[in-house]
Chains A and B, each alone.
Chain A
Amino acid sequence: MRSVLPVLVVVLAILVVWYGAAVWLNSAWTYDQAARAGTHPTLVDVVNDTMAQERPVLPAPHQVARGLWDGVAGQKITSKRSLVWHGWVTLSATLLGFGIGTGLGIVLAVGIVHNRAMDLSVMPWAIASQTIPILAIAPMVIVVLASVGVTGILPKAVISAYLSFFPVLVGMVKGLRAPDGMQLDLLRTYNASRAQTLWKLRLPASLPYLFASLKVGIAASLVGAIVGELPAGATAGLGARLLSGSYYGQTIQIWAALFAAAALAAGLVVIVGAIERATLKRMGMA
């Protein structure tokens, strides 16, 4: 209960600032219209108008909320106007990409920890890969894959995986190297094989690191999927919704899609967090 109050205060502050900004940013258009019509609106008229424009510069919170509500509950979920449908399109690519990225990150980390050549060679490339802006890569991935006939969910998942493998790789390399000398020596006294050392010691010891990485990775996956929906003129997904909104100046649609994406990201991180707690609790580590 005590944690609710600060949250409410912050939300309230944001709403106040937001409404203020909406009045300020949208009033220009109101005055413009009034000047053309030759009328002189009162302050109340201006405020009222800035709250209810069709294409405001900054939609007011209740407009975004209505847009969200309309997109989520006001449509059949199979409709192209449904945010649930678009959200699902993005989510499926996110999850596929997250799975691929996580798998890749773990496999590379295991390789790095066990193979000196990989240790020296993989990390620089992985780091270099993350310095290239994703917006530059995404169109190339889509185009190249499309030219070999791969379209649909996979190109988006590839971009998603591209963003999410890195935090998993970094976290897992650290996690797999977390066991101390004594824990490793203990297994040597049992004459354990490298595979046994991996399964019985390195992997369990790395789990806290893995989960920390997964939370970053799943959010990065979502960004990747959305970015993957931007270039090719896709018609489905939250990214496409953002893009078409900006084509037609549908700011409310953009903001509704943004909030849907944010809610999705938050939901995914919460789910990963819940799995983390349950797992670590079962392992006596939380």
Chain B
Amino acid sequence: MKDVTGAAAPVIEATGLGLTFQTNDGPVHALKGVDLEIGRGEFVSFIGPSGCGKTTFLRCIAALEHPTEGVLRVNGMTAEAARQARSYGYVFQAAGLYPWRTIAGNIRLPLEIMGYARAEQDERVARVLSLVDLEGFGKKFPWQLSGGMQQRASIARALAFDADILLMDEPFGALDEIVRDRLNEELLKLWARTGKTIGFVTHSIPEAVYLSTKIVVMSPRPGRITDVIDSPLPRERPLEIRDSKEFLEIAHRVREGLRAGHAYD
């Protein structure tokens, strides 16, 4: 899972993708003419101002939303087929744990639905709990955990089954800087360990640059891609890398892209 970045057939491939919501106030062009290829094992961040269609694009990949134009292939299938094949785990902006289930029960939920045997469920729950540093919290209910811990539990839930794509919509948006840094580091380690392809929505330029192998800059009205930046940073990234020259250069380019997007208005 280390050496095939971008080389093999793309995991996610969008061509001329568009989505128009029909609302009472007329059509809303949430996405327009989106072309993007994401290779296996990549970490792709989507960044852009509010309302530029980041969530919509992620939801299209997840087949929770249906594009009105263009073609979208996920794992070589249609997005709907990929959803039915349970190809991805989705982490929503809010942790969204079911309050009547314990943390372990929440992580077990996809496993129950996908019909894993009880023993395997237990084993997987224990494994992903330790992966997100929540050993010993399995029997707690969500309200007994902090927001950051809940968010980690929701990530564990998306990791519990064998999907090779992980889609995350501003998972750390509501957390403070320090917790966010820790979770970012953990996420990178996790990505290195699992080799998953990750699509990650964020509003934070440093977060996008720190995490990604590819940064997709988007702009609103209609939502479209204005820049795609392949990061030259190594995959091994200590937090200090954020002070390096390369890091600041990429961050600068992202900021320029965001600014250019606004200039179109």
Q: How far is the CA of A190 from the CA of B112 in the complex (A)?
A: 10
Q: A182-B92, A182-B96, A283-B100 are in contact. Are A188 and B112 (CB under 8 A)?
A: no
Q: How far is the CA of A191 from the CA of B64 in the complex (A)?
A: 11
Mark the stretch among B80-88, B177-185, B203-211, B233-241 that contacts chain A. B80-88
Residues of chain B contacted by A283 (CB below 8 angstroms): 100
Across the interface, A284 reaches (CB within 8 A) one of B63, B88, B99, B113, namely B99
Inter-chain CB contacts under 8 Å: number: 53
Residues of chain A contacted by B64 (CB below 8 angstroms): 185, 188-189
B113-A189 in contact (CB<8A):
no
The total of chain B residues at the interface (CB under 8 A) is 26
B90-A189 in contact (CB<8A):
yes
Q: Does A192 contact B (CB under 8 A)?
A: yes
Interface string of A195-222 (1 = CB under 8 A from B): 0100011001101000000000000000
Residues of chain A contacted by B85 (CB below 8 angstroms): 191
Residues of chain B contacted by A37 (CB below 8 angstroms): none
- CB of B160 to closest CB in A, whole Å: 10
A185-B141 in contact (CB<8A):
no
Interface residue ranges of B34-62 to A (CB < 8 Å): 62
Residues of chain B contacted by A188 (CB below 8 angstroms): 63-64, 83
B96-A186 in contact (CB<8A):
yes
Interface string of A260-286 (1 = CB under 8 A from B): 000000000000000000000001110
Interface residue ranges of B86-105 to A (CB < 8 Å): 86, 88-90, 92, 94, 96, 98-102
Residues of chain A contacted by B101 (CB below 8 angstroms): 204, 284
Q: Does B109 contact A (CB under 8 A)?
A: yes
A200-B99 in contact (CB<8A):
no
Q: Does B114 contact A (CB under 8 A)?
A: yes
Q: Helix, strand, loop or mixed for chain B's interface?
A: loop
- CB of A208 to closest CB in B, whole Å: 10
Q: How far is the CA of A127 from the CA of B101 in the complex (A)?
A: 35
B90-A186 in contact (CB<8A):
yes
Residues of chain B contacted by A185 (CB below 8 angstroms): 64, 90, 92
Residues of chain B contacted by A201 (CB below 8 angstroms): 98
A284-B86 in contact (CB<8A):
no
Residues of chain B contacted by A284 (CB below 8 angstroms): 99-102, 141-143
What would 29 A/B residue contacts be, using CB atoms closer than 8 Å?
A182-B92, A182-B96, A183-B98, A185-B90, A185-B92, A186-B92, A187-B113, A188-B63, A188-B64, A188-B83, A189-B62, A189-B64, A189-B89, A190-B86, A190-B110, A190-B113, A191-B84, A191-B85, A191-B86, A192-B113, A196-B113, A200-B113, A204-B98, A207-B100, A283-B100, A284-B99, A284-B101, A284-B142, A285-B100
Give 14 new A-B contacts, CB below 8 A, not counting A200-B112, A205-B100. Answer: A182-B94, A183-B98, A185-B64, A186-B90, A189-B89, A190-B86, A191-B85, A196-B113, A205-B98, A284-B100, A284-B101, A284-B141, A284-B143, A285-B99
* A interface residue numbers (CB < 8 A to B): 182-183, 185-192, 196, 200-201, 204-205, 207, 283-285
